Structure 1
């Protein structure tokens, strides 16, 4: 994968969050049924967008 600057990585993260995560029905449903912690765990461990965000996070450090 191409080496991106920190600014470009943050831009990619912001676009992913804005495009997919804001108003996510799955997140809202999990939050309603199991609480905020269950919804967050889903986003981190099972959601493909969450996995991509983690990949960007690892590249920032």
Structure 2
């Protein structure tokens, strides 16, 4: 049950903040897709939270 809740929270977070993210689009133009993704994972607060959800999901069975 916890796994389903984590997935729903991560999905909601992505819908609210990542769907039309200006920073991602701009970084994709300047740094490429890989650089934009790296920015999201390492510097964006939303990306950091999504990373935490992923770590919890990989540990939750």
Residue 59 of structure 2 is aligned to residue 35 of structure 1: no
- The total of aligned residue pairs comes to 58
- Residue in 2 that maps onto 1:45: 42
The 4+ residue runs of structure 1 with deviation greater than 2 A are none
Q: Distance in 1 between matches of 2:57 and 2:23?
A: 27
**What RMSD, in angstroms, separates the aligned Cα atoms of the two structures?**
1.0
Structure 1 runs not aligned, ≥5 long: none
User: Higher helix fraction: Structure 1 or Structure 2?
Assistant: 2
Residue 16 of structure 2 is aligned to residue 16 of structure 1: no
Greater relative CO, 1 or 2 (CA 8 Å, sep 6+) = 2
1:50 positional shift: 0.6
Q: TM-score w.r.t. structure 2 length?
A: 0.90
User: Secondary structure of the residue that 2:20 maps to in structure 1?
Assistant: coil
Q: Distance in 2 between matches of 1:34 and 1:41?
A: 10
Residue 7 of structure 2 is aligned to residue 6 of structure 1: no
